[in-house]
Amino acid sequence: MELPRNPFNRSLDGNTRYGCWAGFGTGYATEILATAGFDWLLIDGEHAPNTVPSILSQLQAVAPYASAPVVRTVNHDPALIKQLLDVGTQTLMIPMVDTAEQAARLVAATRYPPHGFRGVGGGLTRATRWDSVEDYLARAHEELCLIVQVESRTGVDNAEAIAATEGVDAIFVGPVDLSTGVGHAGNPNHPDVQAMIRHTLEATHAAGKAAGILAPAEADARRYAQWGFDFIAVGIDISLLRQAAIETISRYKPETPKPKSSLGY
Ligand SMILES: O=C(O)C(=O)C[C@H](O)[C@@H](O)CO
């Protein structure tokens, strides 16, 4: 069979693509999101209770739908990256990338020798459709999309070099970690943080790469779309459930406290 095509990088054509965080860690919940019309879904292996098998079941659950899956790792471990690629992840997001050297090593973790050091799973893996994809070893990289997260002052300072790293396809700004790390916890809209976000966006575009961000508050998402962000996560499934649950019960019990977020959204 043909190497499966990656719908995520094909969707990055200059129009803003809207996504949703998938944090429940089950194929059932993520499949529901996939029927809702989001362009992409972030299966979160950093902060959600996910493992490689739970990520695999979510990839399988969303495969029939148009929402493109993006898988976030918990760290930079090449062994974990290998497992996530082997279960069929084609778009990977890696948190906390501060330097171009880190970015280059992450690229190498996704490439087979001589271009990198990804180990060969061959017929054991869903990525090769159990050895039915012709030329997988030679062509796997063509359908991979590597997104690195810039979410620290050092990362912002190095944004030009990180974005220029060959094999990095996109940068995703982490506004919560960035604002917290520079002393504005819960306030990604502080002018200093906004300036850092804009700088990262411009550095990413200057390198010809795509830029993404998380913005669950509508006014933020609309501003970032206007700035030119290519992909924006406009919701978090867990928060959406909680908000809808509280709004529902408060119609009958008006004394119910309204949803509050310590993160500024
Ligand atoms: O720093 C950020 O913002 C992110 O990387 C996203 C957070 O991890 C997200 O889990 C906030 O709920």
Protein fold of 7-250: TIM Barrel (3.20.20)
Ligand 1 pocket, 176 CB below 6 A?
yes
Predicted TM-score (pTM) of this structure: 0.97
Cβ of residue 164 lying under 6 Å from some atom of ligand 1: no
Query: Tens of pLDDT along 84-121?
Result: 999 999 999 999 999 999 999 999 999 999 999 999 99
Kindly report, residue by residue over 206-255, the tens digit of the pLDDT. 999 999 999 999 999 999 999 999 999 999 999 999 999 999 999 999 88
Of the residues 47, 115, 141, 190, only one is catalytic, namely 47
Determine which residue's CA is closest to atom 6 belonging to ligand 1.
Answer: 174
Say yes or no: ipTM exceeds 0.95: yes
Burial annotation 94-128 (CB, 10 A radius, 16+ → b, else e): bbbbbebebbbbbbbbbbeeeebebeebeeebbbb
